[in-house]
Amino acid sequence: MKKNRLMSPGPTPVPEEVLLRAASPIIHHRTPQFRSILKGVNAKLKKVFDTRNPVLIFGSSGTGAMEAGVVNFLSAGDRAIVINGGKFGGRFSEICRGYNVDPIEYNVEWGEAADPDVLKRLLKENPGVKAVFGTLCETSTGVVNDIRAIGEAVSGTGALLVIDAISGLGADEFHPDAWGVDVVVGGSQKGLMTPPGLSFLSISPRAEEMLKRSGLPKYYFDAGSALRSYDSDDTPWTPSISLIAGLDSALGMILDEGMKTVIARHAHMARATREAVREMGLDLFAKAPSNAVTAVKVPEDIDGEALLKELRDGQGITVAGGQGAYKGKIFRIGHLGNMDDYDIICVLAGLEMALCRAGFELELGRGVARAEEVFTQLPEKCGRAI
């Protein structure tokens, strides 16, 4: 029997406690019992998002909340700057075009982080821009962007700052209120350790004012309706009852560990992964790597698709491949959510064996040994398994 191990940057492994909670008997959503659960979830989400602002829940993948981040604050003909450094930054541009919003694309080379000085110049050259869209962790490249500096660049321009934190939330340092982020997009299937199907949208007071003036069509993703229900611990439409119950347990586990400890754990797993793959003779793809995912270049003369197949089918380990022009050229190891040191050691051992079988010359165990060395230096404040 072969065990299957999920080591992608999303969806991520779901703790048994969360699965069991989600499998509990369904209750009706218009009852005090469910409102009590939702009230607790809403309070916990604020703590995990590190915000004083309401965090709305939608029954969708993260892309639904990305769309909500456009349609609720802009009008047809508005201009918005989109930081496009990968598959998901580019998705904001696609959504804008779908609603007749004019995206001014700041195209960042894949693998590079956005330069706040370039953003400042674009804002100066394009007065009247209504919003700036960016990503915390660009999952397709493994890059983390400097949101604090981006917030400083946007501050005082009048533009709304909307950040996709779907992958980075719970892994990378992120303080939206302190950094001037108006709208945060999140998803359940990454660092929040819950099955896919929930998305989140936090909304600042300034964003609420823009919400009142938005002229784009919306119905299910109408944040105004969601906010009115939020005030009474309710939802405008039938919520994903089982997923929200599971999320309640997942958020409790995260907060019990402590957000600082959670971030430190992810940083330590990321460091061990990066140093191990370098020790194997591989090169990293991201110039500013995220704590959520490590993107690695496929060695020359190695079939990247075949390597992933060997890992998945031969070793029982699923990692993510490259996207777009980088399909077959990079692979991405997730170290996000319900993972610990031994998950990292496992994926590294599987990677060494898969590379060896593909004909890549390396000393078996060398990368694993480097990761073990990193883990033996575990900081006291850094947690172990959740």
Locate the domains of the chain by residue range: 5-10+259-375, 16-256
**Would you place residue 383 in the very low, low, confident or very high pLDDT band (cuts 50, 70, 90)?**
very low
pLDDT digits 0-9 by tens, 107-119:
999 999 999 999 9
Q: Report CA dihedral (40, 339, 313, 325) to the nearest 10 degrees.
A: 80
What whole-number distance in Å separates Cα of residue 103 and Cα of residue 95?
9
The CATH homologous superfamily for domain 5-10+259-375 is: Aspartate Aminotransferase, domain 1 (3.90.1150.10)
Specify the 3-state DSSP secondary structure of 73.
Answer: coil
**Would you place residue 379 in the very low, low, confident or very high pLDDT band (cuts 50, 70, 90)?**
low
pLDDT digits 0-9 by tens, 164-215:
999 999 999 999 999 999 999 999 999 999 999 999 999 999 999 999 999 9
Q: Hey, which CATH number is domain 16-256, 3.40.50.2300, 3.30.530.20, 3.90.1150.10, 3.40.640.10? A: 3.40.640.10
At residue 365, does pLDDT exceed 70? yes
pLDDT digits 0-9 by tens, 226-235:
999 999 999 9
Q: Could you tell me the pTM of the whole model?
A: 0.95
Residue 219: count other Cβ atoms within 10 Å of its Cβ.
9
Contacts of 81 (CB under 8 A, 6+ apart): 103, 104, 105, 106, 119, 122, 123, 126, 129, 131, 132, 133, 159
> What is the amino acid identity at position 284?
L
Residue 380, burial from CB neighbour count under 10 angstroms (0-12, 13-18, 19+): exposed
